[in-house]
Amino acid sequence: MITAFPTMPPSRTPSPTEPLPHQLLAALGQHRMATTHQLHQLLRPHAARQTISAPLNKLRRHGLIDYTVLPQSNRSRAWYLTTAGARLTKDFPALRGRPAYPINSATAASLKTPHTLTVVRTHLAFVTDARRRGDEHGPLDWTPEVAHPLSDGERIITDAVMHYTLNEDDERTQLRAFIEVDRATMSSERLACKLIDYARLWSYQPQPVGRPRSRQPAPPGPVWLRWYPVFPRVLFVLTGASRYVLDNRISDLQAMAAEHPLVSTLARQVPTGAAVLDDLEDHGPTGDVWVPLAGGGLRPWTKL
């Protein structure tokens, strides 16, 4: 005999999935800004566009988000949290500990759009590829603007930290990467010098000052062990110039990895690579599009 157990009415049964308006607010809190198209691809790629635009407009009427119109884009909108929206999302579980940076005007938003939206565009290349492959990499597995301490009170702020679970040959491999998105707005030398900062982070071990406050001081070792079990890959994604210019910038990154002693050591022990954003979108990040900074032929970012 099969006993039928009573169930709660649907209205009283909590869903394990956050409602779409909640997901939109979380995505904007995580990424700072995104276009309607980017949010569509990030959260509901197979749904109608109206599925995203209707709740966005409703959230705007409630004063939680706003938008700026992108120039020369057929009135495309880039959305961001207002002060009220940032206040609401700061207690979302996925965003706890993530500083809220509300944007107070469309003018302020327009100053942030080029770089911020290019970083989101880079993330979408990885999200799309992960879906195709069956890997695990979702909207909140990409954290922009993460700061880490260096010696002498300095900090390195990476454009994004990526968490990615590779499902391959019945094995799960958890990967992490520091992402630097270059739009060719700085000199090639300044770009290459970012490798020095990553090498400094990789080797930086804080020295204890005075007597320890507890009987069990923090274990010795590099500072990055506070957040990562292994040092993340270092990936440069380039765009904003001709292929000739971008290839030269990649060559300068390789030269830094070969000539600077600390960077050279980093590149031998930590996977480092560079790729052109158009190639990531055309062939996927797991295509043979990455130039290893330590030398060698093109390969996927997972094989650097």
User: How far is it, in rounded angstroms, from Cα 39 to Cα 250?
Assistant: 30
Give residue 84's pLDDT: 92
Give residue 9's pLDDT: 44
pLDDT at 221 over 90: no
Give residue 74's pLDDT: 76
**Residue among 248, 120, 266, 274 nearest 189 (CA):** 248
- Confidence class for position 8, pLDDT limits 50, 70, 90: very low
| Residue 100, amino acid | A
**Residue among 111, 140, 108 nearest 123 (CA):** 140
Question: What is the CA 143 to chain-centroid distance, rounded?
Answer: 4
Q: What is the pLDDT of residues 42-94, one digit of tens each?
A: 999 998 888 899 999 999 999 999 998 888 777 789 999 999 998 888 888 88
- Asked whether 70 and 76 are in contact (CB, 8 A), the reply is yes
pTM of the predicted protein model: 0.88
Instruction: Calculate the alpha carbon distances from 24 to 120, 138, 147, 209, 234 in Å.
Output: 14, 13, 24, 44, 29
Which DSSP symbol is given to 152?
A: G
- Confidence class for position 109, pLDDT limits 50, 70, 90: low
Give residue 24's pLDDT: 95
pLDDT at 6 over 70: no
The token pair that represents 181 in the structure block: 């998105």
**Percent of the residues in the chain that have a pLDDT greater than 90, as a whole number:** 70
Instruction: Calculate the alpha carbon distances from 203 to 192, 220, 240, 267 in Å.
Output: 18, 12, 32, 12
Average the pLDDT over 216-237 and give the result. 86
